[in-house]
């Protein structure tokens, strides 16, 4: 069976001298894997069409019982050259892609909102917005769309105000008050305020909010801790470390 679907390339792994295994996020299939035979041949039909973070219209050959499809044809929708030409933006796209692949497993139902969120995050990074606020706001939305939404404007246990010294408990659902969970680690109110505002406004506006130096790294650390608690596994950190090293060097 053959079908056509728009998809983003989130990962490329070399399979042979001329072929790649692609990890895609598709509008119609969700997360999918596809073999692109001959993708590395200088005169192959896939050359320049299956670059990381590019968006294309893929014709896939599918066989029942097989987890991996075969890419038959690809036409480019957006190259996303602005991402590959900006090291910080490229690293940020890698972080968000790793996050999505950690949250969305093979076999998950496709999600049109997740697909469009991925495109929006890539577009904002391509426009040159600072990667950390884009990723923080994007991850918060990704978690909500994946059924792992967090509570930030009230205590996740009693529903009351988190108070002037809020705490953070990922397993309970996010922010908690000191009365309910006095032993939980403290979280700075400014981070909760950003996450609350981010949930109520567009991602491009949320990404322009400024926190104190190091504030977004703390926010990303909380989001990572929350994600790992809910997906019950460790997340890869290679892209995150690369992005942080780049930010430290600037």
- Mean pLDDT, each 10-residue run in order, the chain (250 residues): 96 94 97 94 90 97 86 96 92 95 88 98 96 95 95 96 95 96 95 94 91 91 95 85 73
pTM: 0.94
Q: CA–CA distance from 42 to each of 8, 19, 49, 70, 146 (Å)? A: 22, 12, 12, 20, 39
CATH homologous superfamily of 83-249 equals: Recombination protein O, C-terminal domain (1.20.1440.120)
8 Å CB contact between 69 and 20: no
**Cα–Cα distance between 108 and 245 in angstroms, integer?**
33
Asked whether the CA dihedral 222, 193, 214, 84 is positive or negative, the reply is positive
How far apart are alpha carbons 104 and 157 in whole angstroms? 27
Angle of helix 87-103 relative to helix 131-145, nearest 10 degrees?
Answer: 20
Domain boundaries, the chain: 2-79, 83-249
Residues 134, 88: Cα–Cα separation, whole Å: 12
* pLDDT at position 73: 96
Report the pLDDT value the prediction gives residue 236, as an integer from 0 to 100: 81
Top CATH class, 2-79: mainly beta
pLDDT value for 249: 65
């Amino acid at each position: 069976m053959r079908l056509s679907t728009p998809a983003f390339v989130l990962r490329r792994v070399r399979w042979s001298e001329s072929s790649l295994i692609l990890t895609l996020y598709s509008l119609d299939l969700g997360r999918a894997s596809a073999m692109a035979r001959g993708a590395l041949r200088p005169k192959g039909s896939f050359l320049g069409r299956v670059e990381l973070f590019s968006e294309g219209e893929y014709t896939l050959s599918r066989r029942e019982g097989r987890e991996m499809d075969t890419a038959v044809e690809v036409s480019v929708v957006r190259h996303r050259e602005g991402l590959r030409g900006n090291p910080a933006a490229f690293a940020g796209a890698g972080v968000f892609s790793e996050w999505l692949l950690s949250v969305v497993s093979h076999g998950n139902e496709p999600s049109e909102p997740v697909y469009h969120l991925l495109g929006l995050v890539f577009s904002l990074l391509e426009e040159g917005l600072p990667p950390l606020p884009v990723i923080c706001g994007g991850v918060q939305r990704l978690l909500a769309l994946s059924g792992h939404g967090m509570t930030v404007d009230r205590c996740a246990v009693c529903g009351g105000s988190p108070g002037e010294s809020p705490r953070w408990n990922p397993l309970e659902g996010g922010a908690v008050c000191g009365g309910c969970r006095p032993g939980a680690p403290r979280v700075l109110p400014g981070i909760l305020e950003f996450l609350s505002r981010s949930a109520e406004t567009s991602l491009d506006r949320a990404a322009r909010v400024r926190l104190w130096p190091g504030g977004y790294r703390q926010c990303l650390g909380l989001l990572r801790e929350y994600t790992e608690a809910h997906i019950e596994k460790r997340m890869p950190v290679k892209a995150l470390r690369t992005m942080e090293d780049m930010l430290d060097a600037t």
